[in-house]
Structure 1
Amino acid sequence: MTPAELAAALSLPGRVAIPWTDPACDPARPVTLHCYRGCRATPDSPVVLVQHGMGRNGDEYRDFWVPAADRHGLLVVATTFAKADWPEAEHYNNGLVLDGQGRVRPRGAWAYAIPLRVFAALRDAGVTRRPRAHLFGHSAGGQFGHRLLSTQPHDLLEAVTVGNPGWYSLPVLDAPFPAGLGGIGLGDAEVERLLAYPMTILAGDRDTETSGPSLPSQPEAVAQGPHRFARAHAYLAAGRAEAARRGVACNWRLVPVAGIGHDGAAMSRVCAALWFEGRLIDAGEAGAAAQGAL
């Protein structure tokens, strides 16, 4: 898609689905940009990059952000990795870092680079003049989001919040990816850059399922805790321990969210209120449901 075509597709307020191919990653694996331009959005408005869960429902995750987009004049872009082209966790959650034989692919070909290249294309097209974007990911998208922050440059990122990931890549080099960050070409500089970034981890205090098809159950995941709420605390503790070992700061924060379980819609509203209103809303205001989107 040319810059002019991208600008035309996003020239009016409302929803639009834009097919997108990233040649640097894998041209045989397209994605879809499910976008919403708020009614008051301008090229100087914040851009929110959204990463969906294992349901690959980027259109729904985009829609979770529509009220905030209209209220605050946002441009929302949910880069959607469809099951047909990105079928397994290795392709989406784990970023296509390794090929089918377990070999490390070139870093520029990792799927984690795609949302940032989309944002760069939005800038090149004049859709936005913002130098940096906000990034939110929930569930599998939270796995994607914190691994993106772990592996990619931060110069295009204004704020990063992840909600309810099923498990985490610990900020250590002595555990192989995806349990840690070892064996994929990262070094001390990347780990310390990750620890320094003020990432926010949202953890629903009712996200306490200990089994089920969407909860990662490999030994490395179980070692982080019995459920997502515990694993969020374990990840923060691991970050602080690694930072202390290195003699650097860990600037992450964990925000427990009372009354919310594994609910992508509610967590999206919580994140929007934190970013753009500076407040933590309660479960009732967030519209928490008994069963949210993955």
Structure 2
Amino acid sequence: MKVIYLKNIVLVLCSSILFSCSDSSNSVPDDTILNPELKGSGYFDYSDYAPLAKQPIKVYFHIPANSNSNTPIVFLFHGDDRNASEYRDALIAKSEQYNFIILAPEFSEQYYPTGDKYNLGNVFVDGDNPSPATLNPENVWTFSIIEPLFDYFKNSMLLNANWYHIIGHSAGGQFAHRFVMFKPNARFNTVVASASGWYTVPDLKVDFPYGFIKSPLANLPFSTLFSKKLYVQIGLLDNDPNSPGLRHNAQADAQGLNRLTRANYFFDFSKNQALQNTVNFQWQISKVAGLDHNYIPAVNYAADLIFK
């Protein structure tokens, strides 16, 4: 059993069905199954994906006032501060403007510590030192919780969505662009990977996590990868080589010394790979004037890319 906390309402979530609490003066009747009129912001604890049931995530959401069963869903992935509620709050105005639902999962340090468990998706026990012996089963990859969560939410809320969009910023941008790579058959539509600190580049001469070698990505067809609707978003002022938390080593610095140059490197290298392999290239890069590494304007610009 899980509890959703909503403004002035507490709703109990049990077996993927939402019921009201009978002892709340603001509750709906006990026999109401998922009130389709549910609006506003809240959160719920999700642990129904069995392989990661012992690593629950808190999912912050916002349902706009004009939503209906056809309202699209946007997954919003936070940065290294693990502040999903603040990311959700930063995007509420756009949610109301464009009429989309925000789902912002929080991958806590308690259950998903370090970049291995979050940024790199728990694909390997140690993502910086990949090997066949340390490759985790796909069902425990952090990436693998997103599709079940999508089904859980849309079924619980009686939504008709067959796909979803993704916005990820900073560490969330890393999660987002790697999700596209490791889960190419997932039901995402448009993905905006914003201000990643560094990238897994589709380079078949460089080891994971900086390239594709020594990972399942070595077998990923470029025709599949480059057919995805991926935006690489970067602020033109996100060019500080001494930005806190920005990784510096020989492999990361080979992509550039700051997020701006690394975003350009990732996009340009990928585009050249598509040209050399004569495959269609659907990716785009969005360079935003006046934007530094601030997630608040970044996620709003990302929403504009998807819905304008």
Residues 1:130 and 2:161 are matched in the alignment: yes
Residues 1:174 and 2:200 are matched in the alignment: no
Aligned-partner residue type, residue 180 of structure 2: L
- Contact 2:36 2:68 survives alignment (8 Å): no
Distance 1:80 1:218 in 2: 28
| Max Rg structure | 2
**Aligned-partner SS, 1:232:** helix
Corresponding position of 2:67: 41
Q: Which range moves more in the overlay, 205-214 or 241-250?
A: 241-250
Distance 1:262 1:9 in 2: 38
Structure 2 unaligned regions, length at least 5: 1-13, 20-32
Which of 101, 106, 125 in structure 2 is aligned with 1:75?
101
Corresponding position of 2:225: 194
Aligned-partner residue type, residue 187 of structure 2: L
Distance 1:25 1:186, change over 3 A: farther
Corresponding position of 1:18: 44
- Contact 2:234 2:288 survives alignment (8 Å): yes
TM-score (normalised: structure 1): 0.88
- Contact 1:151 1:190 survives alignment (8 Å): no
Corresponding position of 1:2: 15
Distance 1:178 1:9 in 2: 44
Distance 1:9 1:262 in 2: 38
Which of 48, 56, 64 in structure 1 is aligned with 2:82?
56
Give 1:83 shift.
1.4
Give 1:23 shift.
4.0
Stretches of 4+ aligned residues off by more than 6 angstroms: none
Residues 1:184 and 2:184 are matched in the alignment: no
Corresponding position of 2:248: 217
Q: Which range moves more in the overlay, 7-16 or 37-46?
A: 7-16
Structure 1 unaligned regions, length at least 5: 279-294
Corresponding position of 2:289: 258
- Contact 1:54 1:140 survives alignment (8 Å): yes
- Contact 2:36 2:157 survives alignment (8 Å): no
- Contact 1:30 1:85 survives alignment (8 Å): yes
Give 1:209 shift.
0.9
**Aligned-partner SS, 2:202:** coil
Once the two structures are superposed, what CA deviation does each residue of 1:52-72 show, in whole Å capped at 9, x if it has no partner?
000100001111110011122
What is the aligned-residue identity percentage? 25
Give 1:126 shift.
4.3
Corresponding position of 1:32: 58
Distance 1:184 1:274 in 2: 31
Distance 1:168 1:133 in 2: 23
Aligned-partner residue type, residue 45 of structure 1: T
Give 1:47 shift.
0.6
Aligned residue pairs total 277
TM-score (normalised: structure 2): 0.84
Distance 2:158 2:244 in 1: 39
Q: Over the residues paired in the alignment, what is the CA RMSD in angstroms?
A: 2.0
- Contact 1:113 1:148 survives alignment (8 Å): no
Query: When you count strand as a share of all residues, which structure comes out higher?
Result: 2
What pairs up with 1:213-252 in 2 under 5 angstroms?
213-252=244-283
